[in-house]
Amino acid sequence: MRNNLLLIAAILISNSILGQERYSGEYVFNGIEGKGDFEFIRGEGDQVIKQGEFQFNRKERDVEDKTIFYRTEIFGSYEMDQKTGTWNYLEEKHNVLLEDVKDFKLDYDINSQQILLKANYLNGLPEGKWVFEENEFVEEELRKKSIVDDLIFEGGDLKGRFQYRTFVNNRSNFIRGELLPGGIMNGEWTFVYEHEGKLISEVRNYEKGFLLGLVRSNLESGEIIEELVFFQTINKLNRLNSGEKVDFRIADEKSGIDFIDGFLTDSPQYQKQAAANAFISEFLTNVMRYDESFVSSDGELIEYPIHTQRFVFELSRAQQRMIEAIPAEFDRIKRVVRDYSNRNSLRINRQRSDSLAYANAYFDHKAQRLEEFEELIELFKTKQIQYLDVEYLKNEGLSFIKETEQIEYEYGDETIVRELEFDLSAFETGFYTGLVDYLEQLAASLLYVKNYVDASLSQIERDEDLRSIENQIQDRKIILDEVYLNTEGLNSKEASLVLAVHQNILVKDYEARLEEYSKLNRFADKKEKARTLLDLLEDLEAQHPRLVELYSKVEGLDKLYQEEIFNPFTYSRYDQRAKPRLYEAAEILFDHYFKSLKAETDYTEIKIWIDKLEVLISRMRELRDAETRRLENRINRRMDVSRIESLLEL
């Protein structure tokens, strides 16, 4: 008894010395909100350092769908804020559908997903054997959804042979492969997965992290879909293995699962890896979802326990200087293109001359082309370019660097195509030299067009009042185009009407008036025409909410003019049109008004047609409960629009 008391006293003294405390309450575990219970000590600056046992629980309904229930249980231990030892994870999602209540008992259907993971850690990194399985509960039966065989970690990376299987529609999709120490993909890897409605078999061959080739085939038909051999990679490996003196070596830093060697992400070599790599990412996200160093709180895979290898290339001092200079020059060019492609006075006055119309199209074209450049320039900025075989990249060609570029634009009623030429001979000297020379040519071309635009528009832009109106016009036009082209939530009739008004007014009518504006020289005339353009946009902005409601109002009127009839002979009820002759006359007007509205090309008439429709709807609502027999007797099917309008007192 005395010994037990001494032991308890020693533990209390130890805890007091360490300053160990306990927290129990609201907690967020890698993006999951729940309740945490754990021991901790305080570090520098009162920092909370988890130390000892850890427990996390979540039990909650989905915020938007109350039939979905989530349950999460996590148990483990921390050593100085790093996971250690064995951790157990349980996550369940239950979808409960209430079908009936009989004799005070619930009759319900439940569909569930369950993830079970037993993981081990050393110094915060995955270590040793992990056991993972995913189950689903369907039709009152618990079934395996996915499982992993031989999941072994060492220092945070997977190693050895493993197999991941997922069961879909009574068949097994799987990943099977071998990993060298350090998580390096090696040997033959086999994938079976569904892609674009086909069951695909893909076989890859790796040599110590380098992808040598792949074959994809349709598993059901046996047809080979595509075959790819990375000859440039094989050639470099052979040169290294032979002892040849070369300007590259195998990089010390490992890569993720996307193998890249002298190509960008829009290339066939990258795209043909995408489907199977997405399958690997799905598997890794599933298994590593509880480790924030691997999967973010948004569920995005940010680090890999599986790796490929890559080459790193030696760079001369001249090349290093060019790598430093290229991003700065690109950003300078990008700023000029951005400023001029967004320059309101250029866009509004583009029809003033053929050259201004070309300049407007030129800057739009360059803005699009520079977007295609972004991935390559980012490699320069992050210094990742040293891992890219740029000579292979040069020989394969870059889609955004061409000797001849075609720029199409409209001036008046003509569609004109001009060609812009570049001399790419400097690429024969080397990739970096060629790229520097190309950017210099591009900068010179930009300067020439920029100077012309500045000279042409300088006098117009000196008038502050006119420039202010032009800015308002361009800003409103951009917003209105987005509003009118966004047909989400509209039915087919509503969308057709809105798009017709956009095409006839915001495209045709607007462009015709803009062309007239561009060709005016006197500031007073330009201001008057600019205010007309501004009035057009303001009017269309005001009419849009009314426009999208028209058909729903007519549908409401249609229901208003239905009445329920009881048939005593068949004991059935059905809807019948009330005041049919009156409603048929209104339908003639509705048809005429909607057709006219959709065909209208003068913005000042749009409001008038909407007014006519709303007045007709209002008048028909008034007449629904009014005495209309004399009026209906005067209506006949041969009446024209004006006669019906007169009868209905419109």
Q: What is the pLDDT of residue 75?
A: 96
Q: Do 252 and 368 fall into the same domain?
A: no
Q: Look at residue 569 and give its three-state secondary structure.
A: coil
Burial of 503 (0-12, 13-18, 19+ CB in 10 A): middle
Q: Do 43 and 8 fall into the same domain?
A: yes
Q: Do 493 and 617 fall into the same domain?
A: yes
**Last-in-domain residue among 310, 344, 373:** 310
Q: Do 291 and 327 fall into the same domain?
A: no
Q: What is the pLDDT of residue 619?
A: 86
Q: Do 93 and 225 fall into the same domain?
A: no
Q: What is the pLDDT of residue 17?
A: 43
* Residue 367: pLDDT band with limits 50, 70, 90: very high
d(CA 170, CA 168): 6
Q: Do 264 and 284 fall into the same domain?
A: yes
Q: What is the pLDDT of residue 3?
A: 46
Q: What is the pLDDT of residue 13?
A: 36
d(CA 266, CA 271): 7
Q: Do 33 and 124 fall into the same domain?
A: yes
Q: Do 338 and 479 fall into the same domain?
A: no
* Residue 519: pLDDT band with limits 50, 70, 90: confident
Mean pLDDT of 137-141: 84
Q: Are 495 and 530 contacting, i.e. CB atoms less than 8 angstroms apart? A: no
Q: Are 583 and 623 contacting, i.e. CB atoms less than 8 angstroms apart? A: no
Tell me the pTM.
0.70
- What are the C-alpha distances in Å from 407 to residues 234, 358, 419, 559? 40, 8, 6, 54
Q: Residue 6: is its pLDDT beyond 50?
A: no
Q: Are 639 and 630 contacting, i.e. CB atoms less than 8 angstroms apart? A: no
Torsion angle, alpha carbons of 3, 8, 12, 17, to 10:
40
Q: What is the pLDDT of residue 231?
A: 94
Q: What is the pLDDT of residue 8?
A: 35
Q: What's the pLDDT tens digit per position in 438-471?
A: 999 999 999 999 888 888 877 666 666 677 777 8
Mean pLDDT of 531-535: 83
Q: Which two tokens stand for residue 439?
A: 């950017």
Q: Do 242 and 299 fall into the same domain?
A: yes
Closest CA to 606 of 545, 531, 547: 547
Burial of 226 (0-12, 13-18, 19+ CB in 10 A): exposed
Burial of 22 (0-12, 13-18, 19+ CB in 10 A): exposed
Q: What is the pLDDT of residue 511?
A: 86
Q: Are 131 and 118 contacting, i.e. CB atoms less than 8 angstroms apart? A: yes
Q: Do 144 and 2 fall into the same domain?
A: yes
Q: What is the pLDDT of residue 2?
A: 43
Q: What's the pLDDT tens digit per position in 543-573?
A: 899 998 999 998 888 888 888 776 666 556 6
**Last-in-domain residue among 149, 180, 199:** 149
**Last-in-domain residue among 436, 462, 488:** 462
**Which residue segment(s) compose the domain that 109 sits in?**
1-149
Q: What is the pLDDT of residue 430?
A: 92
Give the count of domains, the chain. 4
Q: Do 201 and 280 fall into the same domain?
A: yes
Q: Do 324 and 271 fall into the same domain?
A: no
Q: What's the pLDDT tens digit per position in 402-444?
A: 999 999 999 888 899 999 999 999 999 999 999 999 999 999 9
